[in-house]
């Protein structure tokens, strides 16, 4: 196993743990310390040194803090970073606000050696609501930066309890500063914020300090045995591809650090692209594509493409995923469709990746990052590169919602959807609330999804269009009353149709209400492919009433 390259950010544990992995498992790829997140994300300040006799080590960390060097330090070491190890201990110092609106970490070195240059500094104490609010804003910036650099999924935050005693059971509290109980209580909400944002947080409560620690006994200077335990726990969390990269895997065409070069589960090379402009879907056979987010974007794009040399592209979006059953990325209906002659493209909702408890996000992205728009552009580029004139967006339930939304942004396309949602707010309340909590934390409740308009409510968006530029084959199981009433009904009404089998006057929408499965299940294998054949028939012509595929409501539902 090659050594993992670890970038450490924090006040001690993030760096110390690197030395406590077994053997030569890891190497230090970079280190930033004594730099609070508020300072690091606030930009360079106008502070100056007041003590020319400061130790070189102090000068280095203070210059870095003044320069807000964290992001530059990370970028300078790419692509040589496998994981980011981040602890929050240096946040204990609080920050000083300068008159220019920037911040410095209020470390002992800052107090001794640095002045504001002009005007007074104002101290913002760690743990106060003001500090926490500023820190949360900084955290959002840093998480966005990590996502753009393809590092967010390989970032691990250390939530290590401050020790109350040393290795002999003696009191380790200091006569000044935070007590261990106070520190642990304060740090808990910072760690919880990151955990709620989907960051991987490793908690460890069994800690003690050492009387012989090189930095002296203190609740935050932990014993080597503690670091060893945490290193072992962390090693167990790391994905296999980081620990055992394939020895003979193909090389990426345009390598972007952070992804393995082969997807063994889907039997495809992984092609990682620095941006959408670099993306190339033309390689023959099956390929797994990852596109890094651009500036201002939170999520990358992920797809699996099967180039069969066809003039047709079938694009599949997945629905809700049981996160205990399915691992990401999920390419739904792959097993069912892989024998078809058309080109195939399976989309994975990358907004799920930062949140282990999020099962469905409808491919909308967040308020600041419209994933539907970006995936629609990805599909259009793939179709051009594959020479595909016909595009069909396919999916069921939440994937049906995504397919309807994507088709509406792709003139000339068709959508084939099964039991889709058409209004996210009318889905199951528990799922909707978790979706809002994870992706729209700025919203006070799920009711504020109305602010997103057609991104979350398709009936109004479809009904408001003077003329659809695409076609929809909407298949609804009549044994699914919730979706009949809450999703098909309003959608059909907005188009001037009845929620039953029929075709719109302009032939743009065909609704099929039949018993093809039980409840809200997806179509069986023997049903799905005939419906694909149906949606492909009569291309460039309006839909008409006609014979339907044979519907047999027995057998296993398609999961792909």
pLDDT in tens, 122-168: 999 999 999 999 999 999 999 999 998 989 989 999 999 999 998 88
pLDDT in tens, 239-258: 766 765 443 333 343 334 34
Q: Which listed CATH number (2.40.40.20, 3.40.50.150, 3.90.230.10, 3.40.50.1820) goes with 307-536? A: 3.40.50.1820
409: pLDDT strictly greater than 90: yes
3 state DSSP class of 109: helix
Question: In b/e form, how buried is each residue of 47-58, taking b as 16+ CB within 10 angstroms?
Answer: bebeeeebeeeb
Q: What is each CA distance from 103 to 92, 116, 137, in whole angstroms?
A: 15, 10, 13
262: pLDDT strictly greater than 60: yes
pLDDT in tens, 445-494: 999 999 998 999 999 889 888 889 999 999 999 999 999 999 999 999 99
CATH code, 4-242: 3.40.50
* pLDDT the model gives residue 495: 95
Average per-residue pLDDT for the chain:
88
Spatial separation of the C-alpha atoms in residues 79 and 256, rounded to whole Å: 8
As a whole number, mean pLDDT of residues 525-550 equals 89
118: pLDDT strictly greater than 70: no
3 state DSSP class of 471: strand
| Ranges 188-192, 232-236, 379-383, 417-421: which has the least confidence | 232-236
Pair type for strands 390-396 and 312-317? parallel
Give just the sign of the alpha carbon dihedral 493, 496, 500, 504: negative
Structure tokens given for 75: 């970028």
Nearest 10 degrees: CA dihedral of 203, 205, 206, 209?
100
Considering 333-342, 398-407, 509-518, the range whose residues carry the highest mean pLDDT is 398-407
Q: What is each CA distance from 129 to 104, 124, 189, 193, 442, in whole angstroms?
A: 18, 10, 11, 13, 17
Spatial separation of the C-alpha atoms in residues 534 and 461, rounded to whole Å: 26
Q: What is each CA distance from 316 to 156, 521, 548, in whole angstroms?
A: 32, 17, 22
Start and end residues for every CATH 3.40.50.1820 domain found in the chain: 307-536
As a whole number, mean pLDDT of residues 263-279 equals 86
Cβ(528)–Cβ(559) below 8 Å? no
As a whole number, mean pLDDT of residues 285-310 equals 91
Residue showing tokens 């023959």: 284
Cβ(95)–Cβ(78) below 8 Å? no
Cβ(250)–Cβ(261) below 8 Å? yes
Closest CA to 211 of 221, 201, 199, 226: 221
Return the higher-pLDDT residue of 216 and 76: 76
377: pLDDT strictly greater than 90: yes
Residue showing tokens 């018993």: 515
Confidence of residue 433 (pLDDT cuts 50, 70, 90): very high
pLDDT in tens, 20-43: 877 667 888 999 999 999 999 999
């Amino acid at each position: 196993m090659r050594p993992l390259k670890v970038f450490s950010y924090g006040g001690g544990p993030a760096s110390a743990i690197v030395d406590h992995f077994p053997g030569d498992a890891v190497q230090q790829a970079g280190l930033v310390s004594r730099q609070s997140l508020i300072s690091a994300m606030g930009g360079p300040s106008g502070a100056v040194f007041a003590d020319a006799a400061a130790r070189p080590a102090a000068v280095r960390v203070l210059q870095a803090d003044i320069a807000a060097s964290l992001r530059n330090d990370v970028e300078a070491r790419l692509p040589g970073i496998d994981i980011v190890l981040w602890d929050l201990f240096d946040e204990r110092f609080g920050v000083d606000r300068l008159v220019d609106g920037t911040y410095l970490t209020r470390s002992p070195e800052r107090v001794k050696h640095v002045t504001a240059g002009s005007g007074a500094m104002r101290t913002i104490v760690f743990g106060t609501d003001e500090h926490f609010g500023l820190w949360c804003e900084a955290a959002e910036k840093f998480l966005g930066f990590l996502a753009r650099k393809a590092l967010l999924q390989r970032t691990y935050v250390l939530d290590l309890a401050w020790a109350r005693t040393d290795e002999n059971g003696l009191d380790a509290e200091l006569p000044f500063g935070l007590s261990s109980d106070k520190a642990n209580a304060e740090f808990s909400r910072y760690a919880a914020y990151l955990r709620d944002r989907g960051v991987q947080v490793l908690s460890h409560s069994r800690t003690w300090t050492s009387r012989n620690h090189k930095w002296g006994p203190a609740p935050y200077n932990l014993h080597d045995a503690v670091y060893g335990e945490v290193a072992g726990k962390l090693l167990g969390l790391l994905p296999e591809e980081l620990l055992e990269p394939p020895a003979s895997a193909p090389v990426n065409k345009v390598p972007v650090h952070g992804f393995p070069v082969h997807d063994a589960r889907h039997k495809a090379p992984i092609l990682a692209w620095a941006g959408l402009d670099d993306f190339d879907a033309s390689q023959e056979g099956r390929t797994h594509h990852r596109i890094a987010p651009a500036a201002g974007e939170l999520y990358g794009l992920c797809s699996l493409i099967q180039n069969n040399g066809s003039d047709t592209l079938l694009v599949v979006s997945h629905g809700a995923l049981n996160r205990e059953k399915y691992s990401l990325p999920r390419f739904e209906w792959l097993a069912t469709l892989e024998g078809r002659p058309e080109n195939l493209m399976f989309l994975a909702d990358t907004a799920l990746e930062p949140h282990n408890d999020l099962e469905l996000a409808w491919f909308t992205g967040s308020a600041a990052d419209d994933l539907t728009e970006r995936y629609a552009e990805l599909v259009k580029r793939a179709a051009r590169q594959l020479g595909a004139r016909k595009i069909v967006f396919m999916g069921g339930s939440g994937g049906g919602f995504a397919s309807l939304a994507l088709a509406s942004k792709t003139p000339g396309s068709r959508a084939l959807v099964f039991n889709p949602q058409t209004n996210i707010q009318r889905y199951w309340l528990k799922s909707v609330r978790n979706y809002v909590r994870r992706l729209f934390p700025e919203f006070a409740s799920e009711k504020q999804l109305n602010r997103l308009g057609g991104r979350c409510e398709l009936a109004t968006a479809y009904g408001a269009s003077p003329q659809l530029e695409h076609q929809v084959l909407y298949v609804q199981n009549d044994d699914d009353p919730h979706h009949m009433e809450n999703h098909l009904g309003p959608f059909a009404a907005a188009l001037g149709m009845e929620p039953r089998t029929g075709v719109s006057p302009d032939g743009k929408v065909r609704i099929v209400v039949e018993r093809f499965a039980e409840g809200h299940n997806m179509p069986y294998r023997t049903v799905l492919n005939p419906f694909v054949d149906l949606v492909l028939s009569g291309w460039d012509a309006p839909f008409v009433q006609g014979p339907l595929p044979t519907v047999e409501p027995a057998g296993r539902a398609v999961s792909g």
